[in-house]
Amino acid sequence: MVRTGERLASTASERYLLIYMIAILVIVTTLVIIFFVVFLKRKNKLLLDKIKQQQAFEAEITQAQTETQEQTLKNIGWELHDNVGQLLSFASMQLSILKMQMPDDAKDKFKDTSEALKESLAEVRLLSKTLNNEVVLNIGFEKSITNELNRLKKMKFTSAELKIIGDKVDFKDRKHEIIIFRILQEFLSNSVKYSEAKNLNITLNYEGVNLIITATDDGKGFNVAEAEKGSGLINMKSRATLIGAALYLTSKPNEGVKLEINYPLE
């Protein structure tokens, strides 16, 4: 009986010891898991903070670059209007005076030159307006696009049309009008220089809380993967990111180019 009691007591002690060890193991494991979870959360928070800081830094850089570019364009616009415009006006006036002093049979020779000067003066004045933010904001986003398309149509395109779908909704920030207008100018400039296109089309589709802007040309197109390395596309995407817009560019050789901007109006 004594031995049996001793065995039961020993078995109970071993059981309690086992339970104690299991409890200690569970507690240690739980603490390790908690420590690991806390460590991961802190690590993720640090990574997110670092990403946000990087994004904020990039946004500030883009903003600074954009402001610098806008000021440069504004200065060029002033130079075109005040200096080049005045020189062309003076040349046109002098040509008119000279034309009046010529005999009638020689006046026709000045006609083409006079018309070319007048067209150049009109082109310089129109171009100077599109380079000045204040003028763009004053005449409005849609009118500015129309003026730009009309200017390009006179230059080389068979057609350059703007189509508006839906009821107009004001931009949440008027500075965003300038940024989107500059993106479209970049697209149109590339069409002029590289596309060999004959027709340009821009559509403004007001879809409730979003403005979907589509710009297309019917030129020779290009390989988008190669173009993504260029400064032009990088500049357009940076500007779009700055205002929270999504930008997509699609193209294939001999199939033209399509630019789509999805801008949230709210």
**pLDDT given at position 2:** 47
Triad 173, 204, 68: Cα angle to 5°: 45
Q: Are residues 125 and 161 in the same domain?
A: no
Q: Is 247 a member of any domain?
A: yes
In the numeric block, which tokens belong to residue 26?
A: 């569970």
Q: Which residues pair with 165 in a beta bridge?
A: 205
Q: Are residues 91 and 167 in the same domain?
A: no
From residue 203, alpha-carbon distances to 64, 165, 213, 216 in Å are: 29, 7, 6, 9
Tell me the C-alpha distance between 53 and 237, whole Å.
Answer: 19
186 close to 229: Cβ distance less than 8 angstroms: no
Q: Are residues 116 and 14 in the same domain?
A: yes
Q: Are residues 205 and 104 in the same domain?
A: no
Q: Are residues 106 and 48 in the same domain?
A: yes
Tell me the C-alpha distance between 136 and 146, whole Å.
Answer: 11
**pLDDT given at position 33:** 86
Tell me the C-alpha distance between 7 and 55, whole Å.
Answer: 71
**pLDDT given at position 186:** 87
Reference 135, options 177, 185, 190, 168; nearest CA is: 177
Q: Are residues 178 and 68 in the same domain?
A: no
Q: Is 61 a member of any domain?
A: yes
Q: Which helix (H) or strand (E) holds 207?
A: strand 199-207
Question: DSSP 3-state assignment of 264?
Answer: strand
Q: Are residues 127 and 7 in the same domain?
A: yes
**CATH (domain of 175):** 3.30.565.10
| Separation of first and last alpha carbons in the chain | 87
Q: Are residues 26 and 115 in the same domain?
A: yes
Q: Is 19 a member of any domain?
A: yes
**pLDDT given at position 53:** 64
Its domain, for residue 193, covers 157-266
Q: Are residues 161 and 121 in the same domain?
A: no
**pLDDT given at position 204:** 95
Is the full-model pTM beyond 0.85? Answer: no
**pLDDT given at position 89:** 67
Looking at the structure of the chain, the number of domains it has is 2
197: Cβ contacts below 8 Å, ≥ 6 apart: 157, 191, 217, 218, 219, 220, 256
Q: Is 142 a member of any domain?
A: no
Question: DSSP 3-state assignment of 135?
Answer: helix
Per-residue confidence in pLDDT tens, the chain, 266 aa:
545 555 555 666 667 777 777 878 888 888 888 888 887 888 787 777 666 666 554 555 555 455 556 555 555 655 565 556 666 665 666 667 666 666 666 666 667 677 776 777 677 777 767 777 777 888 888 988 998 898 888 777 889 999 999 998 888 888 888 889 889 988 988 888 888 899 999 999 999 889 999 999 999 988 877 766 666 778 888 888 888 899 999 998 888 999 999 999 88
Q: Is 125 a member of any domain?
A: yes
Triad 57, 213, 215: Cα angle to 5°: 105
**pLDDT given at position 101:** 66
Distance from the Cα of residue 193 to its chain's centroid: 19
Backbone angles phi, psi at 168, to 5 degrees: -60, 135
Sign of the torsion formed by the C-alpha atoms of 242, 248, 253 and 255: negative
170 close to 119: Cβ distance less than 8 angstroms: no
Q: Are residues 94 and 216 in the same domain?
A: no
Q: Are residues 172 and 211 in the same domain?
A: yes
158: Cβ contacts below 8 Å, ≥ 6 apart: 198, 199
Q: Is 228 a member of any domain?
A: yes
Q: Is 249 a member of any domain?
A: yes
Q: Is 141 a member of any domain?
A: no
**pLDDT given at position 90:** 58
Q: Are residues 9 and 66 in the same domain?
A: yes
